[in-house]
Each structure stands twice: as structure tokens, then as C-alpha cells.
Chain A
Amino acid sequence: MYQYIMRRLLLTIPVVIGVSLLVFSLIRLLPGDPARALAGVTATPEYIEQVRERYGLNDPVYVQYGNFMRGLVTGDLGVSTFSRRPVTTEIGERFPRTLTLASLSLLIATVVGVSAGIVSATRRNSIFDNASMFVALVGVAAPVFWMALMLQLLFAVQLRWLPATGMGGISHLVLPSITLGMASAALMARITRSSMLDVLKQDFITTARSKGLAERVVIYKHALKNALIPVVTVLGLQFGILLGGAVLTETVFAWPGVGRLLVDSILRRDYPVVQGTVMLLAFLFVIINLVVDVIYAFLDPRIHYQGQDN
């Protein structure tokens, strides 16, 4: 297992280099000049030239990439061309906010999704089953943007229960995390349901029932444990997706996390911030994947990895 983890960790290096090349070249392939985006419509040519000089934008691309990679290794991601603050500071301030939002969304998604999935599976084809699977379908399909506006209108404007935008107490987190967690909850409900249905067909469940165990014990003690294995995998991957996918939610709810920072920075052609943010998200995604794989191996003794001693 240790060997396996080490090998996977080493594999992240080419992945990170690949991502860095991709991000670095993609943002530079976009038309639009960062100096001009910063300086605005009234800028003088002298000023634009000065900005290019200041941020090394006149250097050949391979020099810029070299500087970027050197910075990456030493933990210096450069300075934002927009705010002139270090990129690590910009990201450091906002990442905890995105982490909070993603964690709460995942919590909601897990609680709602898993419970709905269990009930649906045990009462298959009941009204509840059909209704919750329909809601799940809508949850997966509804655009985040629309969902966010509807929730704002209902809970903030009509009912006045919750604030619509910004940061503050935990009340500010409710609508964004529901919005963000909705699609994940729907996915989890569907996966829990199908996984549960699979398990319920297995012989050991029949055995448990024939032993005369109460249905409650059969479901929660015997079936659920096994049914949750695929759910845990999805849960991990969803966390990665939620971290990177909070862009729309953060924009609509004016939640100042890394997602919004990324979008704003792309529009401003703020190369250093875009590079730094994408690198961070990519790196997290790789790590989360690794953690999920490892947890998976712990959970399911049937899984073996190459190179592992038998």
C-alpha cells in the first residue's frame, strides 16, 4: 500500500507539469492584452508599455514559463497584475471561503442524497421513490444559475428568511451551499439507490432475512455498509468538483471565493492569478483522487493493487 501511494504521488508530478503547460499556453492563446485590460479605454500607449515591462510580459514566452515554474517550486506565484498583491495572498484569503462552501455543500449533499437514496431503494416504486428520483433528475438537470436565482427570490425576497448575497453569519452560507450541493445530492441519491438495490438482491441479505432479523437491522446493518462503498468514491470526487465548480454559485451569491477570483481574473487577463488558481485546483483534484483510491482500498478488501504483497 505504501508503495502504491508513493507511486501515485510521483505520478502527480507529470500531471501537474501537464496542467501548468496547458494553463500557461491557453491563457496566452486568448486574444486580449493584460496591460490593456488593466489600463482601460483611456490608457496612454506609454502606460501600457510600462505595465508590460513591469510584469515581464515582453519577455519571450519560454522565459515567462521558466519564471513561472521556478516560482511554483519555491512557492512564489508572482504578483497579480490587477491588485498588485502576491498571488499566494489572494488565493490564501479566498480559499478557506470556498473550502467552507464546498464542505457544507458536500454535507448537505451527503445527508440529503444518501437518506433519499436509502428510502427510495427500500420502498422501490413507491410514490416517495418516484417523487424523489424525479426531484433528483431535476436537481441534476437544473442550471445552477437558475436555481440560485429561484432560491434567492423565494427565501430572500419573498419569505425574508435568509440573506441573498455576501458573507456574514452562517445564514449567508445556506442558499449558496444548497445551490451548490443540489446536483451532488441528486447524484448521490441515484447512486445510493442503485447500489442499495444491487446489495439487497445479494444472497447474504436473503440469509440475514431468513435468520429472522428485523428489516431495519437488515437494511442499516448489513445492506447499507456494502451499498456505501461506491457512494464514498463519488463523495470524494464530488468534493473535488464542488471546490472547482463553485464559480457560478460564488458569482450569483457574491461569495468571494476562489471560483469568483478565477472568473474575474480571466476577464482581467490576470495571468499570474489564473495560473495560480488553476494549478491549486488541479493539484487538489489529483490529491483528492488519490485519497479516494486509498480509502477505497481500505473499505473493500477485495481490491488489490499491483505491486502489493498478497
Chain B
Amino acid sequence: MRGIVKMWSVTTVWMLISLIAVGSVFAGGAQEAEMAEERDTLTIGIGAEPESLDPVNMTSAPAATVGEHVVERLIYMEEDGALTPMLATSWEANEDSTVWTFQIREGVTFHDGEPLNAEAVAVNLRRFVNPDVGAAYAFLLGTVESIEATGEYELTMELSQPFAPILAHLSHSFIGIVSPAQLEGLGPNDTFEIPIGTGPYRMTEWSRGEQIVLEVNEDYYGNISEIPTIEFDFIPESSALIVALETGEADAIMRVPPQETDRLEAIPEIEVVYESSVRTIYIGFNNEKEPFNDPLVRQALNYAVDKQAIVDGLFDGVFTVADAPVVPAVFGHESVGPYEYDPERARELLAEAGYPDGLDMTLHHPTGRYLLDATVAEAVQDMLAEVGVNATLETREWSSYLEFTSQPPEEAEYDAFMLGWGTVTLDSDYGLYALLHSRQWNPNGNNRGFYENERVDELLDEARVETDRETREELYAEAIELIWEDAPWIFLYNQGQINANRTYVEGLIHHPLENLSAWDAYFAE
């Protein structure tokens, strides 16, 4: 029985502990309220944790958003797509654009005190393209043959062939320059946790699963940021993300679900920000499989879907109907659409193609990957039913979905699949070449629907190497017209992004590349 007596006294002790705990809860709460008054920390709630902040291992948008504050690139892409100097102050190409010379900014030091020079940049870029390192985005610099420091502050890059979008590619968030001291002695598969860059903020802490903390870089070569500390908190559940903003635990949050905007708009201390994005959502057809190898069928299904109703009904008009395979902000975009909603025309085209009684198909879609993706698929299903197309919906969890839609043509079982693509370089090459050139068929690339048009291939090849901007625009315009006519996808909509912040936060940059940047932010009274 002694055991029980002990056990009972243990319970009593626990009761005491819990009383103390309750007491300190209220003490803790008060402390927090005080801290909010001072406001020296900007807390940004993001849904997912970065996988890594080592440039060669970065693959996600959250990694880009956090990383941009710490590590800089040679070139910065403004919100309107303009390319402006960052660590490179100027650049020029030889006649046929195969040799590029960059002037590296002088007087810049990394967060560890190391100086920035051309050699430091070269070391970073060589690591990025080194096949043994295997950077996920090494293909961005796929045409680069050599990288040399040709002066203390002069970097020369040779390309294997003219490659027009090279500058846009160099502005990509993942091609960051870190301190050469950090890379010294790293093997090809080695990595680091906390990047040492040149950015307006230095990273001081990464508490896994919880948050990343940044402190302002007082030695920054540009304007010193006003807010001393930035915290990125990882809050996976979107309802909890919104609660965090409502309570002020977070000062800004990213990726607000459209159905929550009304609730947030009603709160005077909260500002909801709508911004365009570079992501197009589409339903790709298996162009190699009957009946979707017939352009008439593909066109018919485009006419059958009321894109405007989806945008208005599900996304409160925040998103826009796609009028091309890339979003309007992308260089080379040509407005050729949309396919107006016309069920009558859809039925005619189906009859013409030999399906007067409609047809059966399976529509594969992800759930929870894109905003309301499953709901959109249901809406499309209803609309297709109107014209006699009986679509069965099938969903898979994301990683198996990706695998399922990556099969080579002879093994691909799908009729149609819903996907999104962000043209993050804001250049049509990144959007059209990867998705619609016949060399990019599964499993070689991302042409998952096996679209092939010889003329389109030619135009996309030419536009890759053509350096004259106007000529490039013409080439893309022609390609987009042909693609639109062939209708390899159901062109759906351009996704927007919705962020929200407390009204006392000013100067946040909501970038179309789905980054939220806080280096110009400050607290208003």
C-alpha cells in the first residue's frame, strides 16, 4: 500500500505545480502585451518551413521568401519584371551574346566580414552548376560553360550558345551568393544551415519546426532597414495562421484562403492585400490518347468550361481568366484568349469530332495544393456534364500525384490532369519551353500532356537564342497563337495571391513571385 500513498502525494505535488503554472500563465500573458507595445520585431506567419537555405538545396517559395532577406543575387527582379543591379552593378554581352561580363559591386562585405569580389561570386556560381553538387535548379544556368573572375571586380561568363533569358535566370531567388569562407572545405554533398550572405538582414537562429529569426545588418551597403528583428513563424494550419494575425501574434501572414478574406476585411486593424502572381492553373490533356489527340475535342472542352464563373464564384474575382498559357506579366505574353463560354459551340465541335453523344473521361486533380483545387475540379465536372462529357474525378495526395503525371507516353494512363506552373523568371521561355516543347515530354521534362507542334518547337528554339527583344516577342506571339489554337490544355485562370497584415505595418513588398519582402518595412504609429 505504500506505493499508493506515494502515488497520492505525487498527485498533490502535481496539483501544486499546476497552480503555479496557471499563475505564471497570466504573468506570461502580461509580458507579451508589453512587448507588443515596443514593436521591435516583425513577425511573419508562413505556412511551410523552408527545406534549406543553402542555395543549391532550395526548392520552395517559403525558402525563397526567407532567403531573399539574407542572401543576394547578382541581379534583382523588380515587381514589374524590370532587372536592376544587386551585387552586379552593370553587365554587358559580346556581339552574339555568348560572353557576358559583370561588374561586381565594390565595398560590400558578407555578414562574417569577408569581402565580396568577383572570385567570391565565381566560387558560388561554379558550385551551383557543378554536376556533383546536383543543385535542383542548376538547369537555370544550363547554358553556362565557364565562370571566371577576370578582375578583382569583374566576372566573365561564357555560354555554350546564345541564351536570351540568362539575366532573368540570374535574378532567380535560388542563385544566391554566400560567403566563400562558408563554402571552404565543403564536399559536393555537404551543406550548411545558416547562410552567410550580404543581405539587409543576417540570420541568427533557425529553430526547426518553429521559426527563423533575422537581425538587421547594420553594415548593409544600401539603406539600413528600420525594423531590428524579423521572425518567420511556421504555422501549417491556415485557420491557425488567420487566428495568429487576428490576435496580433503575427504582424503579417501569407497565403490567405479566398474564403477567409471577408472575415479579415471586417477587422479594421487588418489590411488584406491582393497581388497578382506568375502562376497559371490549367487542365492538361493527354494529347497522345484518344479522343484527346483530336484538337476539336480539346477545343470543345475549352468552350464548355465557364472560366469567368469559376473566377467570380470561387475566387471573388481576385484571380483572372487565362488569356494565354503564361500570365500577362511574363515577357512574351500575347493575349489570345479566352475561349468564351459557349456550350452550344462545344456540342457542335464534339459532334464534328465524332462524339455527338458526348464522351466519358477521367479528370485527375490534386487536393490542397492550389487554392480550392478540388472545388474547381468539381465545378469543371459540372460544366462538362452540360455538354455531355461525363468526367470522373480522381485525386491523389501530392507526391503520388506528381509521380502519376510523370509517366512516359506509352505508360501514361491519364486523360486529363490539373496542374499549376509559376513562370518565376517572368520570361516566356521558362513557361513555354518546359511545358510545351516536344523535347520536354515525360520523362525528360515537364510536358506531361505530350503536346507536339513542329512549328511551335521551332519558334521556341529560335526565341531561346534570339537576343533582340522585339524579335523574341514576335516569336513568342506566334507560338502562343498556335498553342492556343491547338488547345493542349483547358486554359483556366491566373492565380493571384492574398496576403494580410496589421495596418501598423507599412512598406511590405508583396512580390508577384510570391515572395513577401520586409527590408523596406516599418511600423507606423
Contacts and interface: CB of A to CB of B under 8 A. Distances in A.
A26 interface: no
A193 interface: no
B25 A32 contact: no
A56 B495 CA distance: 37
Contacts, number: 183
A256 B207 contact: yes
Contacts of A252: 237, 239-240
Contact of B138 (A30, A47, A267, A268): A47
B139 interface: yes
Interface stretch (B52-60, B156-164, B385-393, B507-515): B52-60
Interface residues of B, number: 69
A86 interface: no
B247 interface: yes
B134 A54 contact: yes
A225 B5 contact: yes
B185 interface: no
B434 A164 contact: no
Contacts of B3: 295, 298-299
Nearest to B138: A47
Contacts of A50: 134
A252 B402 CA distance: 27
Interface in A38-66: 38-45, 47, 50-51, 54
Nearest to A174: B25
Given A44-B445, A82-B51, A153-B243, A161 B29 contact: yes
A228 to B, nearest CB: 6
A107 to B, nearest CB: 5
B28 A171 contact: yes
Contacts of A143: none
B29 A45 contact: no
A163 interface: yes
Interface in B238-275: 239-241, 243-244, 246-247, 249
A76 interface: no
B237 A36 contact: no
Nearest to A164: B243
Interface string A4-34: 0000000000000000000000000011111
A260 interface: yes
A85 B1 CA distance: 49
A260 B393 CA distance: 30
A170 B239 contact: no
Given A152-B243, A166-B210, A37 B32 contact: no
* A30, A54, A171, A268: residue with the most chain B Cβ atoms closer than 10 Å: A171
Contacts of A169: 24, 28, 31-32
A82 B60 CA distance: 11
Nearest to A256: B209
A265 to B, nearest CB: 11
A290 interface: no
A264 B138 CA distance: 26
Contacts of B25: 162, 170-171, 174
Contacts of A74: none
A196 to B, nearest CB: 14
A110 B12 CA distance: 11
Interface stretch (B13-21, B79-87, B479-487): B13-21
Interface in B1-55: 1, 3-5, 7-8, 11, 14-15, 17-18, 21, 24-26, 28-29, 31-32, 49, 51-52
A170 to B, nearest CB: 5
Interface in B121-173: 134, 136-139
Contacts of B26: 161
B445 A45 contact: yes
B380 interface: no
Nearest to B189: A54
B211 interface: yes
B406 interface: yes
B432 interface: no
A165 B235 contact: yes
B11 A45 contact: no
A157 interface: yes
B240 A152 contact: yes
A227 B24 CA distance: 33
A108 interface: yes
Given A165-B249, A167-B210, A254 B17 contact: no
Contacts of B404: 31
B443 A225 contact: no
B403 interface: yes
A39 B209 contact: no
B235 A254 contact: yes
Nearest to A171: B28
B247 A37 contact: no
A260 B249 contact: no
A50 B210 CA distance: 30
Interface in B411-431: 419-421
B78 interface: no
B94 interface: no
Given A32-B403, A254-B236, A156 B398 contact: no
Contact of A44 (B24, B31, B139): B139
Contacts of A93: 208-209
B240 A268 contact: no
A277 to B, nearest CB: 13
B211 A30 contact: no
B8 A267 contact: no
A38 B244 contact: no
Contact of B191 (A84, A171, A228, A254): A84
A90 B234 CA distance: 16
B211 A166 contact: yes
Nearest to B12: A111
A160 interface: yes
A232 interface: yes
12 contacts: A32-B399, A38-B59, A41-B420, A43-B136, A45-B444, A83-B208, A104-B21, A165-B249, A226-B4, A254-B244, A257-B209, A267-B397
Given A31-B400, A94-B208, A225-B4, 9 more contacts: A36-B403, A38-B51, A47-B136, A152-B240, A163-B249, A164-B240, A165-B240, A166-B210, A254-B236
6 A-B pairs with the lowest CB-CB distances in the bound complex, closest first: A256-B209, A37-B399, A32-B399, A32-B400, A31-B400, A169-B28
Interface of B: 1, 3-5, 7-8, 11, 14-15, 17-18, 21, 24-26, 28-29, 31-32, 49, 51-52, 57, 59-60, 134, 136-139, 189, 191, 193, 207-211, 233-237, 239-241, 243-244, 246-247, 249, 396-404, 406, 419-421, 434, 443-446
Interface of A: 30-34, 36-45, 47, 50-51, 54, 82-85, 90, 93-94, 104, 107-108, 110-111, 114, 149, 152-153, 156-157, 160-171, 174, 224-226, 228-229, 232, 251-254, 256-257, 260-261, 264, 267-269, 295, 298-299
